[in-house]
Structure 1
């Protein structure tokens, strides 16, 4: 059957004009077409570039944040550590600055486990009472022991009047002016110097010029015997004040932690307690007054002529580590090396960190003016650390502390 033609009126046409049967109406116009594949690919590439740059900015921001936080941590830890040690060093030597005591090899026992630091005198091991004793750790961390008493008499002393042949009593000339009380720590020193000193604790109030040093639970520094014999008129007794205020402190660094052993801090006599974390090393040097002859007048003021990490023959008597050398310590030079708490990551394409690339050199500045510096290099690796030391940033804090009690001697 033939389809009849469709008659319609087209725009611009005459009524009744036939429309071809094959023509169909358009469903969309050219202006309404979607994205082509090329346009989609360009959009994806632009988006990926934006993500890449944004990621890079975030990574750089986190790295900068880690470096800033690490630097802040190191600053805080280092300042706290140095402040704590500086406080001890500024009072070191109080009550121990008499020539009979300063540098004297001393017998001491402690039921709570504190021991005096060791040193050497012409190759022999001694335990000197002195303002400071440095345990030289080479390129590793040092130990620094600082001693001071609290007795109000300072360098005041009374003479041993009777021969001391052992036992729990010491006969002395006079006890009234020096405020001896039960629980006070005393040091008995030979006069003239040369033999060993002995440290003990008064177990009872003094009576009739007799000092009691009986052993007991309340007398932690006593064994019932000084362990050294003294002739009457040839020894003196110095009062260091109450045992609870005896400031014998040993500072050290173990596995990146600054630690303290102390006689006046409960539970730290034998086992050190952590003080500050992320401390890599503690380094110290003696500042010796090396003036000779009549030029050495300690009462007129001490002055540093030489820095050294180890004991030297400072007084020039031919003996290294003798009492005269300990009495020449005019100052301490102390350094703390602290690191950030958060390690940095290796840079892109690198297997190792480069935050720090070489060990640090300390004490390289010549101070005071005219005194040659004695620089030391310190290793930065922390034992048992799973992260390389090159991934951390470090800060060094140095100070010089005068031993102010060195010049205050009789």
Structure 2
């Protein structure tokens, strides 16, 4: 029997098509916002991390250079007359430094990075200049032993196998030979004609009053350069064995500049900074410090240009500074970041610099301080 009033249908549960589309749109919008936030946060994180890498690379680079510069000239410049002499030898002539000096700066052309060559004696204990005495060395002597035994005041600190530089006089030659023996009397150094260094009649000039020897040991010769792929490279050369090796210390170093600090008026104050390598003894005695800057960059390539102009090395305003231009109340030298093959404006940069006094220059045996200025009349 059918009812006159049928039961109502139950409501059907679910979403309409419009509700589904609205939900999907909101979900996609939320996903887009989340992705954008994560991408931005990751970009900030990469920039911060790469900035930290630049700080580390630049700091360690300047430390490595500074550490070697502190030893520049050890044992070589103890006697001021040795500085600036022209080095020569009968062996290893292609690798021999052109002159006996604490540090040699080779300036890069057109703003390119400079290179540093740091020289020192390798003697672990001490290296002292040794004065020659009569009978003086004479390579042409065939009657006595003046060609094979060099008479000295003392052979203290000298070992068989050491390289020695015979310095004849200021602004003259200094010729390298190897110690063959130490005669028992203790006041002679043997130079036998044998081996690579001691060819016949070399050193080739007779010595006289004022000549002396500089003990090079194995001769420490360390260079710092930048490679084409922006790495700071340290090259160490062993002159005794004629062997060398290179090590890349830090990456993302795009520029290195160096300046000699010179006291040109002998008042014990550095007044000139330039890259002009001295050509004589008097010029080398003016070099009292070396100033170095390295330019490190971040590893992160930024989508937008984040560096608008060349990074500036603030060198201060004291003294004459070659290549510097005014920047506010100071002077600056622009560091060429654009020499790399990639787009330099899309990276961040940091300049690191140091001023290293050449302590072995002022620890010389013949160093004398400048006279104190005379106080004005009536002054206290």
User: TM-score when scaled to structure 2?
Assistant: 0.80
Residue 275 of structure 2 aligns with which residue? 309
In 1, distance between residues paired with 2:42 and 2:96? 47
- Contact residue 288 and residue 331 of structure 1 kept, 8 A: yes
Encode CA deviations 1:59-90: one digit per residue, 9 max, x unaligned: 11121111111112111111221111111111
- Contact residue 260 and residue 268 of structure 1 kept, 8 A: no
In 2, distance between residues paired with 1:223 and 1:48? 85
Q: Which has the larger radius of gyration?
A: 1
In 2, distance between residues paired with 1:310 and 1:363? 20
In 1, distance between residues paired with 2:276 and 2:9? 98
Residue 35 of structure 1 aligns with which residue? 15
User: TM-score when scaled to structure 1?
Assistant: 0.74
Encode CA deviations 1:252-285: one digit per residue, 9 max, x unaligned: 1112111122235999945533222222222110
- Contact residue 202 and residue 211 of structure 1 kept, 8 A: yes
In 2, distance between residues paired with 1:223 and 1:381? 50
Encode CA deviations 1:377-402: one digit per residue, 9 max, x unaligned: 2222465x5x4333322221111000
* Residue 238, structure 1, aligned to residue 214, structure 2: yes
Encode CA deviations 1:218-275: one digit per residue, 9 max, x unaligned: x6x55555354133335221223x32xx322111111211112223599994553322
Q: CA deviation at 1:45?
A: 2.0
In 2, distance between residues paired with 1:36 and 1:266? 90
Runs (5+) with no aligned partner, structure 1 = 1-5, 9-18, 117-126, 312-319, 348-353
- Contact residue 131 and residue 210 of structure 2 kept, 8 A: no
Secondary structure in structure 2 of the residue aligned to 1:38: helix
Residue 128 of structure 1 aligns with which residue? 99
* Residue 329, structure 1, aligned to residue 287, structure 2: yes
Counterparts of 1:210-249 in structure 2 under 5 Å?
A: 210-212=189-191, 214-216=193-195, 222-223=198-199, 226=202, 228-233=204-209, 235-240=211-216, 242-243=217-218, 246-249=219-222
- Given the superposition, is the C-alpha separation of residues 181 and 45 from structure 1 closer, same or farther in structure 2, using an over 3 Å criterion? same
Secondary structure in structure 1 of the residue aligned to 2:309: coil
The number of residue pairs the alignment matches comes to 345
Counterparts of 1:9-408 in structure 2 under 5 Å?
A: 19=4, 26-29=8-11, 32-97=12-77, 98-108=79-89, 111=92, 114-116=95-97, 127-138=98-109, 139-151=111-123, 154-159=127-132, 161-165=135-139, 169-174=147-152, 176-191=154-169, 193-206=170-183, 209-212=188-191, 214-216=193-195, 222-223=198-199, 226=202, 228-233=204-209, 235-240=211-216, 242-243=217-218, 246-255=219-228, 256-264=230-238, 269-270=243-244, 272-291=246-265, 296=266, 302-311=268-277, 321-340=279-298, 342-347=299-304, 354-366=305-317, 370-374=318-322, 375=324, 376-381=333-338, 387-408=342-363
Encode CA deviations 1:323-344: one digit per residue, 9 max, x unaligned: 211111011111121222x332
- Given the superposition, is the C-alpha separation of residues 267 and 283 from structure 1 closer, same or farther in structure 2, using an over 3 Å criterion? farther
In 2, distance between residues paired with 1:332 and 1:61? 43
- Contact residue 84 and residue 171 of structure 2 kept, 8 A: no
| Coordinate RMSD, CA, aligned | 3.0
Encode CA deviations 1:163-187: one digit per residue, 9 max, x unaligned: 5336994543326353322011211
In 1, distance between residues paired with 2:253 and 2:241? 22
